[in-house]
């Protein structure tokens, strides 16, 4: 789809828009970096603002808040809760205009993507949305100052076909109007077709955008599926392209860098299972900055990536953070230990206080005086057929060395597991079984015959099948999360049925 800005006006327009973005983001960036030097003070100030508001709500009164509590009193009076525990309060907030958990008007209700459980409805206030805009301002300011120089300005931001809920369709809708206005002229907007035609329509749109400079997606598998489709359907797609020179670029093997010569940045997840998939993008686009995204949940923006900084930096002015260690100890941001892993607990501007997010993070460094984090998996993603209690983080860490490309998933089946992978080798089954047996309870269940031997089954189009499975659950294509372990038994059954449909029958059994 052609840009709405003519080629003759593009370069000065990009320069003007870049200058305006830098001005718009300068204040947020400066304040953020001041806060990073004093994380405890910054978090104390934020907590005071949150508690002052919460004291005006029914939930705050229920917890006995006055609004002038310190952190110790906050911990005593507000319990750590999950969505299910807060759901009665949330339902009342969403059903009325009263101050149930927030005194501010709810301007939007965003459903969670639902990849790892039942859908949740999260209320958004203007203050909370401002936090998402602040995250973008800090990120874009850092890219303008320290990233690759942008010239064409052409951007693709992931969008999804036929959203059946009322959630945001693209990342742009999280941003305030000045930012949307500046970015809109540069957006590549693919046709809004149905789910069956979406990948084809997106492929055509991307192939027409020779001047594409930025791709912003969530999972790298989103882009890899499109690239696989272009490679597999190159003859049909070449016929749809009017430019003979561009058609020649679709010859085998496809040189992706030459197909989009102006591409400078791909923003996507690159932690946990996405690390191997992001590595594939780096191989396909050796001259492109493939930058890992920060941690952003439906419930709040958490971290932002900065050039030259290991891990991502917490958005300590917009979300109050607590961290639970494996032994149940609760720490604050400034108290974290490098190399340690924690479960995230957040308090944010729309009324979710001491909310157990379910994400696990590892502390990988320190920027200024603030610890930096990476996402390592979801807490509670556990499969327990006979007491083996396999969790997603262990499965990923155990198997990714055997399949570093990340195109695999472990699926429960009956009283055992099937390892699905796009590529298999004769030694994969025994190696994978040995890796899983490092988990004591898994090894014990295997020795006692409670668990069947691990089976390995090849599914060449695994990424496509996983995305189809999630989209049937009405998860937006851009929101699908990569996982090493399917814990939902219904999803597992459907995925294994896909193997039968595709007549993938090669299996390998192993013994302990």
Q: Which of 305, 291, 306, 15 is nearest to 153 (CA)?
A: 15
DSSP string across 6-23: -HHHHHHHHHHHHHHHHH
CA-to-CA separations, 69 to 64, 120, 356, in angstroms, rounded: 10, 30, 21
pLDDT in tens, the chain (512 residues): 344 455 555 667 788 888 999 999 999 999 999 999 999 999 999 999 999 999 999 999 999 999 999 999 999 999 999 999 999 999 999 998 899 999 999 999 988 754 445 678 999 999 999 999 999 999 999 999 998 988 898 999 876 554 445 667 667 788 888 888 888 888 887 766 555 678 888 898 899 888 999 999 988 888 998 999 999 888 888 887 767 666 777 877 888 998 999 999 999 999 887 888 899 999 999 999 999 999 999 899 999 999 999 999 999 999 999 999 999 999 999 999 999 999 999 999 999 999 999 899 999 999 999 999 999 888 878 888 888 889 888 998 899 889 888 789 999 988 889 999 988 888 898 999 999 999 988 998 888 888 889 999 888 888 888 877 766 555 554 456 678 888 877 888 888 887 765 443 344 455 55
Which helix (H) or strand (E) segment holds residue 267: the answer is: strand 265-268
Instruction: Give me the residue spans of the domains in the chain.
Output: 7-33+129-292, 382-509
Beta strands in 368-463, from DSSP E residues, in sequence order: 370-378, 382-383, 390-391, 408-413, 416-421, 455-458
Tell me the pLDDT tens digit for each residue of 209-265.
889 999 999 888 889 989 999 998 888 888 877 676 667 778 778 889 989 999 999
Rg from Cα positions in the chain? 24
pTM (two decimals): 0.84
Q: Give first-to-last CA distance, the chain, whole Å.
A: 56
pLDDT of residue 160: 57
Q: Edge-to-edge strands of the sheet including 455-458?
A: 408-413, 416-421, 455-458, 507-509
CA-to-CA separations, 412 to 384, 397, 441, 490, 506, in angstroms, rounded: 9, 18, 16, 10, 17
pLDDT of residue 91: 94
Q: Are 429 and 454 in contact (CB under 8 A)?
A: yes
Determine the Cα–Cα distance for residues 55 and 57; give it in Å rounded to an integer: 6
Cβ neighbours of residue 170 closer than 8 Å, sequence gap 6 or more: 157, 158, 159, 478
3-state secondary structure 136-189: HHHHHHHHHHHCCCCCCCEEEECCCCCCCCCCCCCHHHHCCHHHHHHHHHHECC
CA-to-CA separations, 383 to 127, 394, 418, in angstroms, rounded: 38, 11, 13
Tell me the pLDDT tens digit for each residue of 483-502.
888 887 788 888 888 776 54
CB atoms within 10 A of CB 324: 17
pLDDT of residue 401: 86
Cβ neighbours of residue 358 closer than 8 Å, sequence gap 6 or more: 82, 116, 343, 344, 378, 379, 380
Tokens read off for 446? 């295997």
């Amino acid at each position: 789809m052609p840009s709405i800005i003519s080629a003759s006006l593009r370069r000065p327009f990009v320069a003007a828009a870049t200058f305006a973005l830098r001005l718009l983001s300068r204040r947020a960036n400066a304040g953020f970096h001041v806060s990073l030097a004093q994380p405890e003070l910054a978090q104390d100030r934020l907590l005071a603002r949150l508690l002052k508001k919460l004291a005006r709500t029914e939930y705050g009164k229920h917890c006995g808040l006055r609004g002038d509590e310190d952190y110790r009193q906050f911990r005593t009076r507000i319990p750590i809760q999950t969505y299910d525990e807060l759901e009665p309060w949330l339902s009342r907030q969403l059903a009325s205009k009263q101050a149930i958990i927030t005194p501010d008007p709810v301007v939007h209700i965003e459903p969670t993507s639902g990849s790892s459980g039942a859908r949740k409805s999260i209320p958004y206030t203007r203050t909370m949305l401002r936090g998402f805009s602040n995250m973008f301002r800090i990120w874009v300011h850092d890219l303008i100052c320290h990233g690759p120089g942008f010239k064409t300005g052409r951007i693709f931001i992931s969008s999804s076909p036929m959203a059946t809920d009322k959630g945001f369709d693209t990342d742009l809708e999280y941003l305030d109007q000045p930012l949307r206005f500046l970015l809109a002229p540069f957006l590549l907007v693919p046709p809004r077709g149905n789910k069956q035609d979406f990948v084809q329509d997106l492929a055509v749109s991307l192939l027409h955008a020779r001047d594409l400079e930025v791709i912003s997606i969530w999972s790298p598998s989103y882009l890899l599926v499109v690239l696989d489709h272009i490679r597999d359907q190159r003859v049909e797609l070449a016929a749809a392209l009017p430019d003979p020179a561009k058609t020649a670029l679709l010859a085998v093997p496809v040189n992706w860098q030459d197909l989009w010569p102006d591409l400078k940045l791909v923003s996507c997840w690159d932690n946990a299972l996405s690390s191997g998939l992001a590595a594939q993008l780096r191989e396909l686009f050796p001259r492109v900055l493939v930058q890992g995204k920060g941690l952003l949940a439906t419930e709040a923006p958490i971290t932002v990536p900065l050039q030259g900084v290991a891990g991502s930096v917490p958005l300590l002015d917009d979300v109050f953070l607590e961290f639970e260690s494996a032994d149940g100890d609760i720490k604050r941001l400034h108290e974290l230990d490098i190399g340690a892993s924690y479960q995230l607990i957040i308090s944010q501007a729309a009324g979710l206080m001491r909310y157990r997010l379910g994400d696990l993070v590892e502390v990988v460094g320190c920027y200024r005086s603030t610890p930096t984090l990476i996402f390592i998996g979801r807490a509670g993603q556990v499969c327990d057929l006979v007491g083996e209690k396999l969790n997603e983080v262990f499965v990923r860490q155990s198997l990714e060395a055997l399949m570093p490309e990340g195109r695999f998933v472990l699926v429960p089946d009956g009283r055992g597991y099937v390892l699905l992978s796009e590529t298999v080798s004769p030694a994969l089954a025994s190696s994978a079984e040995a890796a899983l047996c490092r988990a004591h309870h898994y090894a014990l269940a295997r020795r006692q015959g409670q668990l069947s031997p691990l089976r390995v089954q090849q599914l060449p189009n695994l990424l496509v099948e996983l995305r189809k499975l999630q989209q049937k659950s009405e998860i937006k294509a851009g929101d699908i999360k990569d996982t090493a372990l399917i814990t939902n038994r219904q999803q597992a059954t459907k995925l294994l049925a896909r193997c039968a449909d595709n007549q993938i029958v090669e299996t390998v059994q192993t013994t302990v």
